[in-house]
Structure 1
Amino acid sequence: MKKIRIAVRKFDPFESTLQKLWDLFCLENNIQAEAEMIPLELHDLYEQTITNKGLKNGTWDIAHINTDWIFDAVNEKAVLDLTSFIDQNPPQDYPEGWHESLLKLQKIKNSIYGLPFHDGPECLIFRKDLFEDFTEKQNFKNQFGYELNPPKTWKQFVQIAEFFNRPEENLYGCVFANYPDGHNMVFDFCLQLWTRGGSLLDHQNKININQSAAIEALDFYRNIVNNKNAVHPKSRSFGSVEAGLVFAEGQAAMTINWFGFASMCEVIEESKVKGKVDIAELPSDPNHKTASLNVYWLYTIGIGSKQKELAYDFLRFATSPKSDKLLTNEGGIGCRKSTWNDEDINKIIPFYHKLEMLHENALTLPQTPVWPKVAELIDQMVLKAIESDIASEKLLEETQNNIEKIAN
């Protein structure tokens, strides 16, 4: 019997969806083939597929690769160029079925290296039941002199987080994902930078984080994360999944996380906040625009796979409108416009159609093979900022020097 090996990003909705899709794919196409799906944490997934050359040497036929890594994967000649497959047998409604922001990052030098799997830019997720509560609104206005609404500025974010922080009720103002895995704190830093008018790239298109907006961003972030009157005490040990689950269990009034964790609150059994959640754009500094971050997951095929045709047929099946909707119902985030505007989905997840709005302000990370290494340096810098009192200026200067050593 044919066997296909799939490296899966460890997350219950991904694992359950993929198993269901494989079974349906085999049934509908009368295929006798077995899929071995191995769920892996972020770091292990990158290591197994790219560092240890698993996609290149045929260990993996299919892998979830996120857009942070795709440039690196292509550079390492690890993933298959799908252009000829797509030309001969395109996925349904390709490319019109997707927002353009979900087709850009896997397109490198006119070749296409993956199909969108799971998406959902960063946003502010909040408990609308708390924000709409008459007594809460009255008490807040008496205390701060303005109406209680989702925060538009970072100053308001802190005030609202402190207002809702009630450890005795197991409710905290907000929850962060501060586990240093090269992702969450890097993304948080970028969002803080962008919403203060900063940029990761200088006018020569080189990565440069040594700037005044970055000092403000790092200062703010280290202060809020260490604010015991505002933040869930276990944030330090949480990755984005754990922070998302804690929010779904009703332990925080707000969180900044991927859109997927908002929709998860409406569909997973453990959720204690079904019907009580909404999303909004991120706060920003006065006079600066909001921003979001678009990093999405792709289905990719290993260049060393012996089952390339079978793998591509499965990818076409797994990205169909029906499959995209199934992923959403399982707790992931479909990538197709048809799913975003689907009536059934919006009945279950009333804010689902807002994905389009988030994509309009979504920025992306620099596409360079050194980005994963740069991300590690930024991760270490943010961790140092949180755990020490070394001045932000000094940390940024040191990190920028190390970035330049890699980049040159």
Structure 2
Amino acid sequence: MNNRTETFKIAVRKFGPFETAMQKFWDDYCLLSGCTLKLELVIMDLHELHDRTLTQHGLANGEFDVAHINTDWIYEGYANNAFEVLNSYINQSPPIDFPDGWSASLLELQNFGDEIVGLPFHDGPECLIYRKDLFENEREQTRYFELYKQHLGVPKTWQEFQQVSQFFNRPDEGLFGAILACYPDGHNTVFDFCLQLWSRGGNLIDPQGKINVNTPASLESLDFYRKLVNDQSAVHQAIREFDSVAAGMAFSQGQAAMMINWFGFAAMAEVDEHSKVKGKVNVDLIMSASLNVYWLYTIGKGSMHKNIAYDFIRFATNTANDRALTLGGGIGCRKSTWNDVSINQIIPYYHKLEALHTAAKMLPQHQNWAKIAAVIDQMVLAAINTNQPAEEILTHAQQQIAEIEK
């Protein structure tokens, strides 16, 4: 057990709006409650956050009182007794409007046999983010029709996506057709592969409940993604260096016509004072698919300050703070935020979150998902960075996954 008695330690996902919000929420909480604990924010990227909180048992052993945990990892943490179960706290002092204040899609993945281990922090399904000013420009529409004998519109197939990307790709003007996030962090390429797979009617799970990436739909998905990522006439030249945050920043600077990324980066393009595309952005489904991965507040099983931790996250998720998170560049999770009139004036497509959730799929709940995701990440990277036949790549990946699932 960690002997910290005077500090309150939060593991925070590295992202400016998250860091700012956590400090502000804690300061406001202390003013309201009289809490005198000193806050220590430990700001980490994805790999380090997972490693410190779960692999090294930072939540279980009390190193952290509260942590940002995304739903990719929630089953792993639950299975390893990393989280404090919140039911007794919620029963005694429920969050305002719980559970009706949130979409059911944001309360599902942290609920295990009615044991709740987290409250929603930050949301925003993956979606197609695009420059509506370019798509609605009459000159661009005329030129597109002259070239392709088709009307310029939001892509409904991956082939259309590639064609539209090629049309808008103008590196000499500082504009690229599309931005993807291909940084090898075990997440971005995995999400992209799943979107390719789902939009073609494929599935990660076989009839026996096992993960199977060696399927005809997987082959088609991997082959196309390889072609798209390596199409220098269509995509941003730096996509291999972009994680989702860097991709979002590049889009906000007007560097691309389209982007596959989290909804939050569309919203950021409207609220970031440095954005060059305010008022020029819209969102849509990604070829009829979307992915629901969200972030949670969790309390460490080994925390010395569990009552304060719950009181804090209850405060941090209230209506006002959910709205404040949104206006600061994050994505609030409450229905009231999604439908807030003033927010929809700033971010005109904010109300679309509900529809995106309706179409969104979720990643498998698996104790070893982080290891499996790492295999899929390497699988996709092998496809985009080598000439190895996709059939061989998929076969090898499936063999590795089968070993993990034994």
TM-score by length of 2: 0.98
1-structure distance, mates of 2:277, 2:263: 15
1-structure distance, mates of 2:216, 2:63: 46
Aligned equivalent of 1:400: 398
- The CA deviation at 1:391 is 1.2
2-structure distance, mates of 1:374, 1:268: 35
Aligned equivalent of 1:351: 349
Say which is worse superposed, 18-27 or 63-72, in terms of deviation: 18-27
Matched, 1:233 2:233: no
Aligned equivalent of 1:310: 308
2-structure distance, mates of 1:115, 1:73: 15
Aligned equivalent of 2:183: 179
- The CA deviation at 1:357 is 0.6
TM-score by length of 1: 0.98
> Which ranges in structure 2 are unaligned for 5 or more consecutive residues?
none
Aligned equivalent of 2:37: 33
Taking the TM superposition and a 5 Å limit, the aligned residue runs for 1:384-399 are 384-399=382-397
Aligned equivalent of 2:138: 134
Match for residue 47 of structure 1 among 28, 48, 51: 51
Aligned equivalent of 1:21: 25
Give the fraction of aligned pairs with identical amino acids, expressed as a percent: 55
What letter matches 2:23 in structure 1?
Q
Aligned equivalent of 1:286: none
SS in 2 for 1:68: coil
2-structure distance, mates of 1:2, 1:327: 27
Query: Deviations for 1:351-381, whole angstroms, at most 9, x for unmatched residues?
Result: 0000001000110011010111110000000
Backbone CA RMSD of aligned residues: 0.8
Matched, 1:56 2:54: no
Aligned equivalent of 1:202: 206
Runs of 4+ more than 4 Å apart: none
- The CA deviation at 1:31 is 2.3
Aligned equivalent of 1:260: 264
Matched, 1:328 2:326: yes
Aligned equivalent of 1:371: 369
SS in 2 for 1:266: helix
- The CA deviation at 1:270 is 1.8
Taking the TM superposition and a 5 Å limit, the aligned residue runs for 1:97-116 are 97-116=101-120
Query: Between Structure 1 and Structure 2, how many residues are aligned?
Result: 402
Matched, 1:86 2:90: yes
Aligned equivalent of 1:287: none
- The CA deviation at 1:269 is 1.7
SS in 2 for 1:254: strand
What letter matches 2:310 in structure 1?
Y
- The CA deviation at 1:30 is 2.5
> Which ranges in structure 1 are unaligned for 5 or more consecutive residues?
284-289
Query: Deviations for 1:249-288, whole angstroms, at most 9, x for unmatched residues?
Result: 00000010000000000011221000000001112xxxxx
1-structure distance, mates of 2:301, 2:268: 33
- The CA deviation at 1:209 is 1.1
SS in 2 for 1:147: coil
